[in-house]
Amino acid sequence: MIVPPAYVGPGAGFAFLGSFLALAVSVVGGLLAALAWPFRAFRNKLKRPRGLVKKAIFLGFDGLDPAVTERMMAEGKLPNFAKLRAMGGYSRLRTTFPALSPVAWSTFATGVNPGRHNIFDFLNRDLRTYLPELSSAKVTRTSVEMRRKSETFWKILGRYGISSTILRVPITFPPEKFNGRLLSAMCTPDLRGSQGDHSHFQASEGRLVGPADESLPFQAVGGVLEIQGQRHTLPVGGYTPWIRLKFRSARGIVRFLQRSDGSLYATPVQIDPENPALPISHPGYYAMYLAKLLGTFSTLGMAEDTHALNEGAIDQAAFLLQAADIQKEREAMFFDALRKLRHGVLACVFDTTDRVQHMCFGQTDVIENLYRDMDRIVGRTLAQIDPGTAIFVLSDHGFCGFRRGVNLNTWLLREGYLVLDGESGDYFAGVDWSRTRAYTFGLGGLYLNLKGREALGIVDPTDADRLRSELCSRLSGLQDGTDTAINEVWQSRNLYSGAYLEAAPDLIVGYAEGYRTSWAAAVGMVSPDVFEDNSKPWCGDHCVDPRLVPGVLFANRALVATDPGIEDMAATALKLFGVARPHWMEGRAVV
pLDDT of residue 25: 55
Average pLDDT, the chain: 93
CB 498 within 8 A of CB 112: yes
DSSP 115: H
Q: Could you give the CA distance from residue 116 to residue 567 in angstroms, rounded to a whole number?
A: 12
- Tens digits of residue pLDDT in 259-282: 999 999 999 999 999 999 999 999
Residue type, 340: K
Containing 34, the helix (H) or strand (E) segment is helix 19-47
Cα-based distances in Å from 523 to 23, 448, 502: 38, 17, 22
pLDDT of residue 169: 98
> Angle at Cα 389 formed by Cα 388 and Cα 390, nearest 5°?
125
Domains of the chain with bracketed CATH:
5-193+268-399+548-576 (3.40.720.10), 402-545 (no CATH)
273: nearest Cα among 293, 258, 302? 293
**3 state SS of 458:** coil
The DSSP code sequence of 159-204 is HTT--EEEES-SS--SPPP-SEEEE--TT---TTSSS---EEESSS
Containing 522, the helix (H) or strand (E) segment is helix 519-522
Q: Could you give the CA distance from residue 515 to residue 534 in angstroms, rounded to a whole number?
A: 9
pLDDT of residue 206: 96
Q: Region 488-501: what's the mean pLDDT? A: 98
DSSP 9: -
- Tens digits of residue pLDDT in 13-22: 444 455 555 5
- Tens digits of residue pLDDT in 443-461: 999 999 999 999 999 999 9
pTM above threshold 0.85: yes
Cα-based distances in Å from 345 to 44, 60, 150, 316, 588: 14, 13, 19, 36, 18
What are phi and psi for residue 153, nearest 5 degrees?
A: -65, -30
pLDDT of residue 43: 58
Percent of the chain with pLDDT over 70: 92
CB 98 within 8 A of CB 389: no
Please check the confidence at residue 306 and state whether its pLDDT lies above 70: yes
Distance of CA 396 to the CA centre of its chain: 10
Distance of CA 137 to the CA centre of its chain: 12
Cβ neighbours for 460, distance < 8 A, ≥ 6 positions apart: 451
